[in-house]
């Protein structure tokens, strides 16, 4: 979707505040929603961003739309990272998100798929409510669908590499990675650092289990499908 007007910051007047507000809103939303869960109030997000509620609604028609935007950026960042870890970036993708090189160090010789997923979660900054699928009804904007597909491709590459290295058992798929992430998540009521430390502790167990299954030649029976994540269940 190309912008017909000139895009090289042509009107830096009042619109610059708009842009910076936009960024502040996104950051605040990520922060507040990740700390307090999905029922944090819009007023709280606005206050955190140093902005009135109206400034949020001017850009996002609804709270769900704001969460959607966070989902898209989170999933895109995860996809970029997955591709990067897998060995080569996709085409002209943006720069890799910052601050993730150190975290991966202490996970040892774990399967890259799981590691990358954990890092992806770190990147999103808002693990619980945001990596979770939207409500039952009408899900998946085209943007989110595209990001999701890109992530799928990246994870497939990662898992394939891990399979070749004998780090994950046969039958373990990219969809498994997503569902494992959905099932193993930091406990909300605790302070962030504490919850993350424990999260890492137990994720390590799962990765060891994977590697052991691979060594034992286990063949997993049919697991989840990719579109079950973010999929519409229609009950």
CB of 133 to DNA, least distance (A): 18
Select the residue interacting with DNA from 1, 7, 8, 13 (CB under 7 A).
13
Picked from DNA, a copy of itself, none, the partner binding residue 210 (CB below 5 to 8 A depending on kind) is a copy of itself
Name which of 63 and 208 has its Cβ closer to DNA: 63
SS3 label, residue 232: coil
Q: Does 113 bind a copy of itself (CB under 8 A)?
A: no
Q: Does 177 bind a copy of itself (CB under 8 A)?
A: no
Select the residue interacting with DNA from 3, 7, 8, 39 (CB under 7 A).
39
CB of 150 to DNA, least distance (A): 28
Q: DSSP states of 93-152 as a string?
A: --PPPSS-TTGGGGGTT--HHHHHHHHHHHHHS-HHHHHS---SSS---HHHHHHHHHHH
SS3 label, residue 57: helix
Interacting positions 127-166 with a copy of itself (CB under 8 A): 132-133, 135-136
Instruction: Pick the closest to residue 170 from 218, 227, 112, 135 (CA basis).
Output: 218
Name which of 12 and 92 has its Cβ closer to DNA: 12
Select the residue interacting with DNA from 63, 161, 185, 208 (CB under 7 A).
63
| Exposure b/e, 108-125, CB count within 10 A at least 16 = b | eebbbbbbbbbbbbbbbb
Integer-rounded Cα Rg, in Å, for the chain is 19
CB of 38 to DNA, least distance (A): 8
Instruction: Give 47: exposed, middle or buried? Use CB within 10 Å, 0-12, 13-18, 19+.
Output: middle
Q: Does 37 bind DNA (CB under 7 A)?
A: no
Name which of 70 and 131 has its Cβ closer to a copy of itself: 131
CA distance 103 to 122: 9
Instruction: Pick the closest to residue 234 from 153, 143, 147, 135 (CA basis).
Output: 135
How far the first Cα of the chain sits from its last, in Å, is 34
Name which of 90 and 224 has its Cβ closer to a copy of itself: 224
Q: Which region, left, alpha or beta, applies to residue 157 given φ > 0 means left and ψ of -120 to 50 means alpha?
A: alpha
Select the residue interacting with a copy of itself from 31, 143, 204, 227 (CB under 8 A).
204
Picked from DNA, a copy of itself, none, the partner binding residue 222 (CB below 5 to 8 A depending on kind) is none
Residues that bind a copy of itself (CB under 8 A): 39, 132-133, 135-136, 179-180, 182-191, 194, 198-199, 201-202, 204-213, 220, 223-224, 228, 233, 235
Residues that bind DNA (CB under 7 A): 11-15, 17-18, 21, 39-43, 50-55, 57-58, 61-64
């Amino acid at each position: 979707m190309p912008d017909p007007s000139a895009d090289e910051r042509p009107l830096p007047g009042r619109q610059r505040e708009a842009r910076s507000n936009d960024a502040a809103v996104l950051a605040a939303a990520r922060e507040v929603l990740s700390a307090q869960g999905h029922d944090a109030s819009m007023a709280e997000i606005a206050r955190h961003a140093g902005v009135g509620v109206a400034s949020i609604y001017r850009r996002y028609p609804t709270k769900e739309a704001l969460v959607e935007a966070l989902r898209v950026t989170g999933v895109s960042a995860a996809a970029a990272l997955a591709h990067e870890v897998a060995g080569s970036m996709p085409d002209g993708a943006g720069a890799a998100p910052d601050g993730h090189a150190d975290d991966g160090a202490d996970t040892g010789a774990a399967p890259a798929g799981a590691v990358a997923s954990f890092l992806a979660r770190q990147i999103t900054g808002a693990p619980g409510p945001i990596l979770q699928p939207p409500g039952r009804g009408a899900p998946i904007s085209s943007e989110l669908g595209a990001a999701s597909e890109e992530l799928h491709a990246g994870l497939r590459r990662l898992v394939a590499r891990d399979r070749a290295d004998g780090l994950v058992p046969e039958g373990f798929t990219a969809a498994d990675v997503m569902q494992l992430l959905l099932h193993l998540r930091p406990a909300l009521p605790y302070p962030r650092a504490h919850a993350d430390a424990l999260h890492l502790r137990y994720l390590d167990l799962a990765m060891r289990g994977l590697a052991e299954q691979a060594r034992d030649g286990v063949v997993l029976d049919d697991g989840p499908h990719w579109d079950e994540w973010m999929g519409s269940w229609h009950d």
